[in-house]
Each structure stands twice: as structure tokens, then as C-alpha cells.
Amino acid sequence: MVYVVCVPLILAASWEHISINLAELTYELFGTEYVETVKVKIHANCRIRRVYFTNRIYADKDLPKAFKVNVSEESKKVKTSKTAKTDDKAPPPELAGSGDQDRITELNKQMGTPLPTSVAGHDYIRGIQSILNSIDKDPLRFWRKKVESGHVESVMDEDIRSSAIEVQGRNMQNNFITCPVDPEGSLGIRLPILNMLLKKTGEDFSFEITVIDNTNVRRQIVQTTFKKDMKAKVCVVCFPIRLSDSWERIDFNLAELTNELFGTEYVETAKIQIHANCRIRRVYFSDRLYSNEELPKDFKVNISEENEP
């Protein structure tokens, strides 16, 4: 079902920068929370220079030249609509680099880039991009499954009193889920912090993250419970991880890991693969490491008790 609200808009006959806070509008107009944008339609009569989405309202001085109203006059003041409000509590950080390309690269890192069409339906709110939510109607619609003598299915977990995706199998290497579905595709996510809410359900467990660095090389980071020592190659590093048998929130700073392991700079995440044996509540990326108090209830480890970590 689609609900419609028509709001008047007054524009001058000159170029303008129109910024609309969709989260605030959704709440003010419908009394609900914004999750995602499905479609944008622009009618006659107008000329369009650029259309883009951001995780917050950026000041004119923080935008690259090509993102401003008058690209020939960088200092010209940009107008915004009355619906756009700057977050005084969280001003945008200074963008690194003096050139426009550096500024665009840094802005993309902060905002994240659009995902391929097949993955575009995932949540993106306030610097958090979710790629798996176990309580969705079809939580694995953008994931590919491989199962041999095992299973990948939705189960009800008694600890969190919620559904979870269980990846289970005798051979850990032959039972996994991977995103995106296309083996040659890429997630294209530039948010640097990977977060997973999961529980180990067997002796062995591992997951793999493929990132692309500033040399345009794909690097693979593998973490597993059955390795005792780190093994490193030019493009692949495998190191041990210790997990309990209870639900945990695991987070990784991929920017720091890429620099420490390969001596290069993180640009984006191309692929993530999660092997048996585990249960998964959610997998998401964020622009920074959020404390438990800052996260929405269903992004926490125990969603049945909001105040419990």
C-alpha cells in the first residue's frame, strides 16, 4: 500500500540546492520511521545538475566543488529547503585532502556508496547499513547459499527469543552463505566498521571478508576458530578468533585491519562469506563504532531485553 502527501514547494528561477531530510519528513507526515528510498521521480520543467543522498546535511564548505550549486563559483552560498536541519550535535568532520578528488573520495567513505541494484533494499539509516536481518520476511534474498551435509535455515533462538539464521554442517568449508549472490559482483560498501550479531554453535566456525584497497587490489581477511597462528600471504591473511557459545556482537575496523595487514588503505567491502557453525541475528556496516546505548533495539545482542548488552 502506498500513502501520498503533497507538499508545496516554492523555488526561484535560479539554481538552488534543495536538501530534504527524509527521516524527519517521514516521521512528521506519517508518524513512522524512515527505512529506505524506493523511487525518485522528477517531472518537467527543470534542469538538473546532480541528485545524491547523504547520511547528514553537509555544510557548503565541506562539499566538493562538483557537489555545489554553482560549480564555477565555489564560494557562492548554497540554499537549502526549510525541511533540512543541520545536526548541531554531530557536525560533519573535516574532509581530508585539498583536491576535489580527495574530497569526493573522503565524502564517499563517510556516506557509503550505492549498493548494486540487487542489494539496494537493505536498511541505511544514520550511517548504518544492514545487509542481513534475521527477522525480515526473506532475510537471505541477497545471499547465496552453499550446503553439503548441513543446512541453512531460519530457527527460533531461545536466548534472544527471536528468529536467527542458522548455518550448520559437518564440513565448515562446504556450508556457508555469501553476499552478494553474484560471485563476480561487489557489495560496494564503503562504511569501514563491520558488525555481526552471532552465536557460535559448533566447534569450528569461520568467516571471510573481501575488501578493495587504494591500489584497486582485492584483499581477503579470514578469521577462524580452528587456527592458532596467523598466516599471511600477499592478498590473504588468516588469523584466529576466539568466541564463546553465547550471543556476541563482533565488530571489526576494516580500515585499520587493511592498513595493519596489507599496508594499504581501505576503500570498500566487496564480499562477505559466513561459514558454519553459527546462528546470525544481524550483519551490518557502520561509519564508526557505536556504543550499545546509541544503537536501536534490534541492533543489539539481546533484542528481547533492551537494557542488556
Domains in the chain: boundaries: 1-82, 128-290
Quickly list DSSP for 246-281: S-EEEEEEHHHHHHHHHSS-EEEEEEEEEESSEEEE
The grid coordinates of residue 254 equal 576494516
The grid coordinates of residue 96 equal 581530508
Rg value, the chain, Cα: 21
One CATH from 2.60.40, 1.10.10, 2.60.120, 2.40.40 for 128-290: 2.60.120
Q: Burial of 83 by CB count in 10 Å (0-12 exposed, 13-18 middle, 19+ buried)?
A: middle
pLDDT beneath 50: ranges in the chain: 73-98, 103-104, 107, 109-123, 305-309
Which residue reads 574530497 in cell numbers? Answer: 103
Q: What is the pLDDT of residues 36-91, one digit of tens each?
A: 888 999 999 999 989 999 877 777 777 887 788 765 544 444 444 434 443 444 43
pLDDT attached to residue 222:
96
Which residue reads 557562492 in cell numbers? Answer: 76
pLDDT attached to residue 102:
55
Which residue reads 520511521 in cell numbers? Answer: 33
pLDDT attached to residue 303:
56
pLDDT attached to residue 248:
93
Phi-psi region of 243 (alpha: psi -120 to 50; beta: other; left: phi over 0): beta
Q: What is the pLDDT of residues 288-308, one digit of tens each?
A: 999 888 888 888 877 554 434
pLDDT attached to residue 67:
84
pLDDT attached to residue 309:
41
Q: Which residues pair with 299 in a beta bridge?
A: none
The grid coordinates of residue 23 equal 527521516
